[in-house]
Amino acid sequence: MSLSLRLLAISATLAFAGAAFAAAPASTAPSAAKPHSAQQQRMVDCNKQATGKKGDERKAFMSSCLKGQSTAAATPAAAA
């Protein structure tokens, strides 16, 4: 009889512990929905515009885009 009670107690403990761990990620979810800072938003926008560019051309484009320079000026600089 005491073995059955021990197993019941262990099972109940594990069930409550599992529920506590399952609830933990939900508390971190609102921080993931935080709006981007100005620099992060600029990075997202420049990254979208840089699709199709590779290597040095992409590097030069991203550098000029993040500095706020025009994107037209980045293309000849990368080609030269």
Q: pTM of the predicted model, to two decimals?
A: 0.45
**pLDDT tens-digit map of 13-38:** 877 766 666 655 555 555 567 888 88
Q: Write the secondary structure of the chain as one string of H (helix), E (strand) and C (coil).
A: CHHHHHHHHHHHHHHHHHHHHHHHHHHHHHHHCCCCCHHHHHHHHHHHHCCCCCHHHHHHHHHHHHHCCCHHHHHHHHHC
How confident is the model over 41-63, as pLDDT tens digits? Answer: 999 999 999 999 999 999 999 99
